[in-house]
Amino acid sequence: MRRLGSGFLFPSCLVFFCWAVVCPPFVAADNDAKVDERVLVTATRLDDKNVPVSDVAAHVTVIDREQIEASGARNLQDLMSELTGVVLIDQVGNDVQKSLDLRGFSGGKGVAVFVDGTRINDSRNNLASLETVPLDAVERVEVTRGPSAALAGGGSEAGVIRVITRRGTQPAASVSASGGTFNTARLDATYGGNFGHYDLFVSGAYDTTDGFRPNSGGDQKRFNASGGVDLGGGRRLGLVVLSSSLDYGAPGALTLAEFEANPWQNSYNLLDGSDVVERQASLTFQGPVGDGFSLAATLSYRSGVAQTLSTGRAAATYGGFLLDGDGGTWSGVAQAAHEIGSAYGSHLLAFGLEASDGSTDSVGYFTSPADPGSYDPSAPSSRNDAGAGSVGLFAQDTWTISPRWGVTMGLRSDRNRARYSETVPATTNGSKAFSEISLHAGATMHASAAVDLYASYGDGFLPPTPEQLYAFPFFGSNPELEPEDARAYEFGLRSRGRLGSLDAAFFWTDTAKEIVYDPTPTTTDPFGRNVNAGTTRRLGVELSARGRLGRGVSGFTNVTYTDSTFTNGADDGDQVPLVPNWRLAAGIDASLPRGFAVRADALYVGAQVLDNDPSNSQQRLAAYTVVNLRLGWERTLGSGADSRRGTLGLFVAAENVFDEVYATRGIYAFEFSTFTPADFVTPAPGRRYLAGLTWRM
């Protein structure tokens, strides 16, 4: 496989340089070191009784508003791409609609994503379209790694991502515009204000690009509005509305030979793409309700309309397929919390109920080989309804035994149901229900004022989705699937010194009945099917260091080692597809004179087994290194009272500076043009430039 660039050497040098310089202050920090406890995280199902990070028995990363603005990221995937434990894959090839998982899980199925307490994972397949969340509307992002079913329910084997949106409690406004390579343009604006007992925040963003390959371009419009009213006594009622309209091409993958000849070509997927509109409205309440209890509750409705066209390599023979879907999901969570003090420490009790129900009506049309982009709306080839619902009861006790010791215990009971009905053709109907009990237990110890230790155990599970069970007869569905079950152990250390921080975590996750796609033809499934593959084991180490390297200079280093293997059956000892053993990220931020600042970062991702290759028989997806640079300048307009005119900022950025040729995904699949299996890879963009300006007040 073709690979240009610096391979392993450059990121290794940068990683170990930062490690050598940054780590000593953390490890050597004494009892008098100043420990930053201002970082609070969500420790219960809803954002209510927040606790310091040091009291959480898990590896947690918090990205605040200041870090979001400094990153220059365009969506959540870009923002989190360099974090430890991340698995990022582009399955469609446009560098926008990428899936994100954690800790050796891949394909976007292992992470539960919540926006202001509302789950945004698709009820049909558990995928979360992170690119639909307007980044300008995000106040902070919390990434909690490890199975979290006792708190979040199913589909959280890898972890939980919580997104908390901004409020207008502090007056602020901003406008920014940028443009760059591939005719890329971005415009966004925000406004927030406080009006007595009321607050309001709105944001809007528009992105457009021609794309780095034919049919990889498109545009996206995102909007957010949140308002709240202070009911007095610490109680608040809020309403959050999010909207995303995305229309992008899907250039897909190339064979290995095509990629090596010209990674920017596209001959077969010139019509493929998706037009997706997603909207969400959430009504929230938070505050005390008497007798020492507080209540947090959210009621939301999420809707989506999507039209997807797939043609590809077989279009000349078989034509294409257009899928038109329209669906919505209601969900609600109510959580009560109560603090109890005693001679044996204090307890924070939290318990509640969560329920959701959603469905998607889909109509499909086969298109002709002569004109694969057109269809007859009066003659659908398929019509179906896929739905999923769940009910969960949860309880958690956080016991602070002493200022040094803490214990957390959680229990949750879930019942999930998947249903599917197909009327055109009338071939498949069915429903299945699954019940799970999930546990979580963790302990924290404040070894000193600067060092915290923790250990935890957690359950995770993933019920089969309607698509996996029923949606694709002869092309993968299997009504006999059972839920995946995960059991995980984690040990970690956190150090906060005068000059920075160090986080280290060791994790061990065993998953039984993991659902994978087996492409092997059978008499009933000529194109393969989903199966419970047996057991897998994911062992890993995550190291994250951040701190001051000198006056006006800070650095970070994130190192992830993950060993994901099958532990029984025909593939015993083989590696799980699409999980690199090594991911290394490092970067430096430097403040320069006269308002200038520079940021340089690098990401190395190791080789990966191809998707659909559990036996590890094919050539692996090559390792790659990507280096980015960003130069910024800021100046406050006016002085004294005139400084209210705001701050003006300019930036110039270069992504993939060394023009590395690489792919983020590889798959072993059937090649219709030759009627033989082949290796396919999905190219990523080469070098890109972007420049823009921002005004903030």
Asked whether residue 2 is assigned to any structural domain, the reply reads: no
Asked whether residue 403 is assigned to any structural domain, the reply reads: yes
Band of residue 516 on the pLDDT scale cut at 50, 70, 90: confident
Express each pLDDT in 681-693 by its tens digit.
999 999 999 999 9
Q: What is the CATH number of the domain that holds 42?
A: 2.40.170.20
Residue 30 sits in which domain range? 9-696
Express each pLDDT in 57-75 by its tens digit.
999 999 999 999 888 898 9
Cα of 493 vs its chain's centroid, Å: 24
Mean pLDDT, residues 666-678 taken together: 86
Peptide bond into 425 cis (omega under 30): yes
Structure token pair of residue 214? 């034919």
- Judged against a pLDDT cut of 90, whether residue 281 lies above it is answered with yes
Report the C-alpha gap between 314 and 305 in whole angstroms: 26
Question: How many domains would you assign to the chain?
Answer: 1
Structure token pair of residue 75? 């969506």
Residues 6+ apart with CB under 8 A from 189: 173, 174, 175, 176, 203, 204, 205
Express each pLDDT in 654-671 by its tens digit.
999 999 999 999 999 888
Residue 487: the pLDDT is 95
Structure token pair of residue 371? 């004109």
Residue listed under structure tokens 């009784």: 49
Give the rounded percent of residues in the chain with a pLDDT score beyond 90.
75
Q: Are strands 172-180 and 184-195 parallel, antiparallel or unpaired?
A: antiparallel
Residue 268's CB is within 10 A of a number of other CB atoms, namely: 21
- Judged against a pLDDT cut of 80, whether residue 6 lies above it is answered with no
- Judged against a pLDDT cut of 50, whether residue 30 lies above it is answered with no
- Judged against a pLDDT cut of 50, whether residue 17 lies above it is answered with no
Distance separating the N- and C-terminal Cα atoms of the chain: 49
Question: Is the CB of residue 130 less than 8 Å from the CB of residue 290?
Answer: no
Report the C-alpha gap between 226 and 282 in whole angstroms: 9
Band of residue 643 on the pLDDT scale cut at 50, 70, 90: low
Band of residue 604 on the pLDDT scale cut at 50, 70, 90: very high
Q: Which of 691, 693, 690, 595 is nearest to 650 (CA)?
A: 693
Q: Is 113 in a helix, a strand, or coil?
A: strand
Asked whether residue 231 is assigned to any structural domain, the reply reads: yes
Q: Are strands 111-115 and 159-165 parallel, antiparallel or unpaired?
A: parallel
- Judged against a pLDDT cut of 80, whether residue 4 lies above it is answered with no
Mean pLDDT, residues 444-473 taken together: 90
What burial letters (b/e) apply to 501-537, b meaning 16+ CB within 10 Å?
bbbbbbbebebbbbbbbbbeeeeebeebbbbbbbbbb
Express each pLDDT in 60-115 by its tens digit.
999 999 999 888 898 999 999 999 999 999 999 999 999 999 999 987 778 999 99
675 against 365, higher pLDDT:
365
Q: Cα–Cα distances in Å, from 439 out to 108, 147, 416?
A: 23, 10, 17
Q: Which of 548, 403, 547 is nearest to 52 (CA)?
A: 403
Asked whether residue 4 is assigned to any structural domain, the reply reads: no
- Judged against a pLDDT cut of 80, whether residue 524 lies above it is answered with no
35 against 142, higher pLDDT:
142
Strands of 254-255's sheet in order across = 254-255, 676-683, 663-671
Among 4-18, 83-97, 225-239, 436-450, which is the least confidently predicted range? 4-18
Asked whether residue 3 is assigned to any structural domain, the reply reads: no
- Judged against a pLDDT cut of 50, whether residue 11 lies above it is answered with no
273 against 612, higher pLDDT:
273
Band of residue 644 on the pLDDT scale cut at 50, 70, 90: low
Mean pLDDT, residues 515-539 taken together: 81
The helix (H) or strand (E) run that includes residue 115 is: strand 111-115
DSSP annotation string for 234-281 = TEEEEEEEEEEEEEEE----EEHHHHHH-TT--SS-SS-EEEEEEEEE
- Judged against a pLDDT cut of 90, whether residue 314 lies above it is answered with no
Band of residue 37 on the pLDDT scale cut at 50, 70, 90: very low
Asked whether residue 92 is assigned to any structural domain, the reply reads: yes
Band of residue 35 on the pLDDT scale cut at 50, 70, 90: very low
Residue 318: the pLDDT is 87
Mean pLDDT, residues 581-589 taken together: 97
Among 341-345, 384-388, 556-560, which is the least confidently predicted range? 341-345
Residues 6+ apart with CB under 8 A from 300: 118, 280, 281, 282, 283, 330, 331, 332
Give the rounded percent of residues in the chain with a pLDDT score beyond 70.
93
What is the value of pTM for the model shown?
Answer: 0.92
45 against 526, higher pLDDT:
45
**Residue 350 carries which side chain, given as an amino acid letter?**
A
- Judged against a pLDDT cut of 60, whether residue 178 lies above it is answered with yes
Average pLDDT of the chain, as a whole number: 90
Asked whether residue 1 is assigned to any structural domain, the reply reads: no
Express each pLDDT in 350-391 by its tens digit.
999 999 999 999 999 999 999 999 999 999 999 999 999 999
